Structure 1
């Protein structure tokens, strides 16, 4: 099928999916991942598919573009794109369609970018392959494409490798590749899951402009119902491979008819956070916020105080972590100027409570978390854990610290060993620190799987056989294995669908109340932060610009940057009763 330059006739859907079924061959027999799926997508329309991990959202999208795994195939039905059936089309035809007519923004940036090829080169390959640039002007087109995707200093960024980008920057590079050829249909599979809310808004505004100016259709795969309500004209709800409900976006969210859709809407923090009281998720705290943020950050208090006023009151809580003047400066390759990733940051984490750090990509959130884990050494300042200077820990004390402080990383694919089974991944810390007998470790692993809502059948599987949300649940189970005192959560639920996200947040809350756990919660999802945190620290360009109780931050933000972050929350203006 040659690439058409014509748009479909008025009233004719650009994409028509009819009675499609997808099957995967496994050692246990065939698995019917998608059954009897019917949907239409018109030119210039945005259609969102929502549902849990494993519901068939991404499988449906990959079937459309012909990128199912080797053991998967479309067993029935038709997929008409511009009137031509893509089911069974030769690979030569599909190569023409992909990128040129149908663009793709995949979910996992680290596994979809070549780690040994510069970002600019990867974008140039796409432009040259589809004849949208020449050898003479390709460098200029690469810079324009990266800039359009929201990357600052695009010319310099084009010369860097994926590992030199933050998670959000890598995702923006994938978006740049997907949009490079101005496709007629863009399949966006969780395109902003790794992005902070302000950049997310920028990218989605750009997709909206494409829809209106170019007539580009967008098939949006997302677990964020607030995002779906704001950005899509229609929503398709999938569960266990089938469509259970579809219709106008606002109608689906305001008046869901099916029990499954009702459960999704009820669990969605992007919708729920604007109406749930914080007490629903967390215990009421009477600890003064002044004990969380020292005098270095006077904006954290409800009323301004003088620098001479003592920071801690007599009723100050017991802090498990105290951070003072934390600074991290990196040498920049090829530059005479250093880069300050974290600039004189001070805060504390009361024992048994949750402190969240929010901010845009590059604000210093993750660098702060890595210093907390003693993965990165600070340039100056101090971190005290339970009264001990973390920088001075060695030998036995460091070994004990590693057991008491556990991480949950943002990208579950790169943080899980692809050669290990799920059982071995979760049991590895227990074996390393010689916790219990082999039988006791096996029982602990099974208990942890139950805690994170994974079936026992997952034990012998490998990370590549799990969805993104399932992999993140395995990472959470591993972090809980040693029963730590402090968990550093770096975007722990960003890859999870809303129902599992809701379960994990409640699990974290229950574990905190039962065992007195403390959390440092790094997130760009402010709706989730409102539900889970006791205190919030807002970072911008490495500095702490505002810090206060969660309720104060969300109801009375003082800094303009904080107000801009809150205004960018997807679904922030929706008033949906559940």
Structure 2
């Protein structure tokens, strides 16, 4: 089967309101008697999928995205579907809720919800079930919330659409739903737009929409993949609390095995559109039977794992130094090391705010990036880690402090010197969809840096493009596809290939593997490690996934509220964390206390 993406059901630029799309306020229906929710038979399954086949019509022909999938979700239970990008997990869920795109269709099998057959159900009847009896929390809140509609109105649309509120009482009911979803100061937040909220709050808004109607089933499609571990834990706890309160079952779609083991009682493993293993979650993870499941477990990163190292690697000294008072000072190199590639000293970024105290996004941050090493920055959303990276990339100007690259002042670079700097320092951003030109093919996106810097002729550039695609595990025929035709993980691989095109000295990686499943994630981390050993690359690696940071990093810097609170070798941070905040981050990792089978 062609590794067609399983995110295609979302499309691009769609918005979710009650899992259907926003209804303009002027046309939202007034309250009407809601259709009674179907009830499962006593002791019977809530969701039962048997022999499901789903196909997509593409420019390359018909793609079988799901073949013969079968599993059962008991009433009141939580079932997780895991698998790599293109495995069919999201397509299966979107088929169950009737949200396949126009080029997708169910060609065989059965989907029964509370005893009712959903395959072939008339659209009008399906709309009454969707949102009312089956809720949805999608992956990307910025793509699934209407950017020009206030948050409260979007929640209200769901209640009005399903007759659970009138125009007189909708505002108060929206506030109650927001409060139940753990959104602080709901009156203030209800008047705000999505861009005014943090990633965690936007995700809570989607949870509020998905559970506003107290559905019997909640489909949570990668609900925390882009969130840091502490916010992730809060969001998952919120989903657990709300689903227990309304007695909902949960269908959880994730590529995080630790999360699946911690939150689900039942597990379904999908590979290339088929279910290869299913059953008790802990049993499968402790003793996987299928070869593909064993490969997933083996590839899953762990904070207990050792740093990924080439055989010739020699361990570097710890970069932390303390002054006489015990305060953190600039990350230091041993005397035998060469001049660091990058040195950041007292870097500060302040945003002025009318009528309020100035906001310090970064405050006196000092660190060095040695040649050929990886320095990681970890911390919660708003800790300043991305701000620091963007100042290094010269995308935003610091308020004070200095940045040097090979001894040159980065902040004063202009003209040819600045162009040379941008060639030698590349970036991989967190959201590949917003960083890729949607009107360019994959081949053109990867080739663009080569054209900009006039590297080789047309044949050489195409050969280099195909080589890069192979390096990041993208099939050659994806060369003609567009970003909208790829899954989130596939788009991220395109972004990584583009960053590697010019053979840079330093790559700033801002959450580069957050959208990738564990197998592709392992391939990318291995690739970054091998390139570092071969080419002497340096990395500034930003991530909320501490297990990934453990695998890739030589040094780890922990940021909180714009300040550097701990910096040391990776080994020191993960085995002997000093700061309470670092210890809290480590304790928040999903599945950290669970035993997952050793299949090495």
After superposition, give the CA deviation of every residue in 1:26-69 in whole Å (9 maximum; x if it has no partner). 23332111111111112210000001100100000000000101
1:162 shift after superposition: 3.0
Structure-2 residue corresponding to 1:424: 444
Asked if residue 289 in structure 1 is aligned to residue 309 in structure 2, the reply is: no
Distance across 1 between alignment mates of 2:296 and 2:349: 41
Asked if residue 394 in structure 1 is aligned to residue 414 in structure 2, the reply is: yes
Distance across 1 between alignment mates of 2:461 and 2:573: 42
- Is the contact between residue 171 and residue 194 of structure 1 (CA under 8 Å) also seen in structure 2? no
1:21 shift after superposition: 0.7
CA gap of 1:543–1:132, structure 2 versus 1, over 3 A, is farther
Q: Where do 1:108-123 residues align within 5 Å?
A: 108-123=140-155
Distance across 2 between alignment mates of 1:376 and 1:391: 10
Structure-2 residue corresponding to 1:277: 306
CA gap of 1:277–1:311, structure 2 versus 1, over 3 A, is closer
1:410 shift after superposition: 0.5
Distance across 2 between alignment mates of 1:202 and 1:39: 29
Which residue among 357, 381, 392 is the counterpart of 2:377? 357
Asked if residue 265 in structure 1 is aligned to residue 265 in structure 2, the reply is: no
CA gap of 1:103–1:435, structure 2 versus 1, over 3 A, is same
Residue 565 of structure 1 aligns to a residue whose secondary structure is helix
Distance across 1 between alignment mates of 2:358 and 2:300: 41
- Is the contact between residue 150 and residue 199 of structure 1 (CA under 8 Å) also seen in structure 2? no
Distance across 2 between alignment mates of 1:29 and 1:248: 37
Structure-2 residue corresponding to 1:344: 364
Residue 504 of structure 1 aligns to a residue whose secondary structure is helix
Distance across 2 between alignment mates of 1:231 and 1:156: 32
Which residue among 104, 120, 133 is the counterpart of 2:136? 104
Asked if residue 241 in structure 1 is aligned to residue 273 in structure 2, the reply is: yes
- Is the contact between residue 182 and residue 238 of structure 2 (CA under 8 Å) also seen in structure 1? no
Which residue among 514, 533, 538 is the counterpart of 2:558? 538
| Structure 2: stretches of 5+ with no match in the other structure | 1-32
Distance across 2 between alignment mates of 1:487 and 1:447: 19
Distance across 2 between alignment mates of 1:321 and 1:505: 22
1:154 shift after superposition: 4.4
Asked if residue 61 in structure 1 is aligned to residue 82 in structure 2, the reply is: no
| Structure 1: stretches of 5+ with no match in the other structure | 301-306
Distance across 2 between alignment mates of 1:351 and 1:310: 14
Query: Which piece of structure 1 moves more, 523-532 or 77-86?
Result: 77-86
1:338 shift after superposition: 2.5
Query: Which piece of structure 1 moves more, 60-69 or 567-576?
Result: 567-576
Structure-1 residue corresponding to 2:18: none
- Is the contact between residue 34 and residue 162 of structure 2 (CA under 8 Å) also seen in structure 1? no
Distance across 2 between alignment mates of 1:153 and 1:346: 36
1:295 shift after superposition: 5.5
Distance across 1 between alignment mates of 2:506 and 2:212: 43
Structure-2 residue corresponding to 1:449: 469
- Is the contact between residue 446 and residue 456 of structure 1 (CA under 8 Å) also seen in structure 2? yes
Distance across 2 between alignment mates of 1:516 and 1:5: 61
- Is the contact between residue 296 and residue 346 of structure 1 (CA under 8 Å) also seen in structure 2? no
Which residue among 560, 569, 589 is the counterpart of 1:549? 569
After superposition, give the CA deviation of every residue in 1:232-260 in whole Å (9 maximum; x if it has no partner). 00100001111000010111011111101
- Is the contact between residue 359 and residue 365 of structure 1 (CA under 8 Å) also seen in structure 2? yes
CA gap of 1:238–1:390, structure 2 versus 1, over 3 A, is same
Residue 289 of structure 1 aligns to a residue whose secondary structure is coil
Structure-1 residue corresponding to 2:336: 315
- Is the contact between residue 294 and residue 311 of structure 1 (CA under 8 Å) also seen in structure 2? no
Distance across 2 between alignment mates of 1:208 and 1:268: 24
Distance across 2 between alignment mates of 1:402 and 1:146: 44
1:284 shift after superposition: 4.0
CA gap of 1:518–1:298, structure 2 versus 1, over 3 A, is farther
CA gap of 1:346–1:278, structure 2 versus 1, over 3 A, is same
Structure-2 residue corresponding to 1:440: 460
Q: What is the aligned-residue RMSD (CA, Å)?
A: 2.3
CA gap of 1:299–1:214, structure 2 versus 1, over 3 A, is farther
Which residue among 213, 217, 220 is the counterpart of 2:252? 220
Structure-2 residue corresponding to 1:573: 593
Residue 182 of structure 1 aligns to a residue whose secondary structure is coil
After superposition, give the CA deviation of every residue in 1:317-376 in whole Å (9 maximum; x if it has no partner). 5311111111111234x6433222112211111111111111111111111111111111
CA gap of 1:299–1:137, structure 2 versus 1, over 3 A, is farther
Q: Where do 1:28-107 residues align within 5 Å?
A: 28-107=60-139
Distance across 2 between alignment mates of 1:449 and 1:555: 37
Q: Number of residues paired by the alignment?
A: 565
After superposition, give the CA deviation of every residue in 1:159-179 in whole Å (9 maximum; x if it has no partner). 433334444443333233222
Structure-2 residue corresponding to 1:508: 528
CA gap of 1:229–1:312, structure 2 versus 1, over 3 A, is closer
Asked if residue 524 in structure 1 is aligned to residue 554 in structure 2, the reply is: no
1:72 shift after superposition: 0.6
- Is the contact between residue 24 and residue 31 of structure 1 (CA under 8 Å) also seen in structure 2? yes
1:389 shift after superposition: 1.5
Distance across 1 between alignment mates of 2:393 and 2:108: 51
- Is the contact between residue 297 and residue 547 of structure 1 (CA under 8 Å) also seen in structure 2? no
- Is the contact between residue 45 and residue 211 of structure 1 (CA under 8 Å) also seen in structure 2? no
CA gap of 1:434–1:145, structure 2 versus 1, over 3 A, is farther
CA gap of 1:7–1:525, structure 2 versus 1, over 3 A, is same
Distance across 1 between alignment mates of 2:166 and 2:417: 59
Residue 410 of structure 1 aligns to a residue whose secondary structure is coil
1:563 shift after superposition: 0.7
Which residue among 348, 352, 356 is the counterpart of 1:331? 352
Residue 531 of structure 2 aligns to a residue whose secondary structure is helix
Distance across 2 between alignment mates of 1:130 and 1:68: 21
TM-score of the superposed pair, with normalisation by structure 2: 0.89
Structure-2 residue corresponding to 1:161: 193
